[in-house]
Structure 1
């Protein structure tokens, strides 16, 4: 016997996972750039992925956002924005260390 939640999920199909897949694809590119010793580009791409996740969370309705919805919409937007800003700040301001390219 199917439950009500099973019937709701069955009608959504694979398209509900597309926003999360877009963010995962961006993160995969970020990881690739990082593994190629372009860590700053990789970190900036992580910030871009967080920005895109927040943007998708903001514009898509709750039933189409899939795994990008974690808490309420406002909490998710603030969290994505704060993490994006933090990663971007770190990527743009760190100097020195084993990955410094300025020397």
Structure 2
């Protein structure tokens, strides 16, 4: 979120989308007693609710052509 607030919204969007994909991976990989706050609904619904916005954020950040995506 810091990257977005520093007006590097494309990088921030990719990072936020990546964080959602990591959350989905952790939700699938961790046993039910260790998922903590990642478990809100059923496992399948949680993963869908993490993957869909994550992919959408990444695709939007990559396909909008104005601005740079580099980390410099």
The runs of at least 4 consecutive aligned structure 1 residues that moved more than 2 Å come to: none
In structure 1, runs of 5+ residues without a counterpart are 1-30
Structure whose CA Rg is larger: 1
Q: Which has the higher helix share?
A: 1
In structure 2, runs of 5+ residues without a counterpart are none
CA RMSD of aligned residues (A): 1.3
Q: Distance in 2 between matches of 1:83 and 1:34?
A: 17
* Aligned position for 2:34: 64
If the length of structure 2 is used for normalisation, what is the TM-score? 0.85
Query: Greater RCO between the two (CA within 8 Å, min separation 6)?
Result: 2
- Give aligned pairs, total: 68
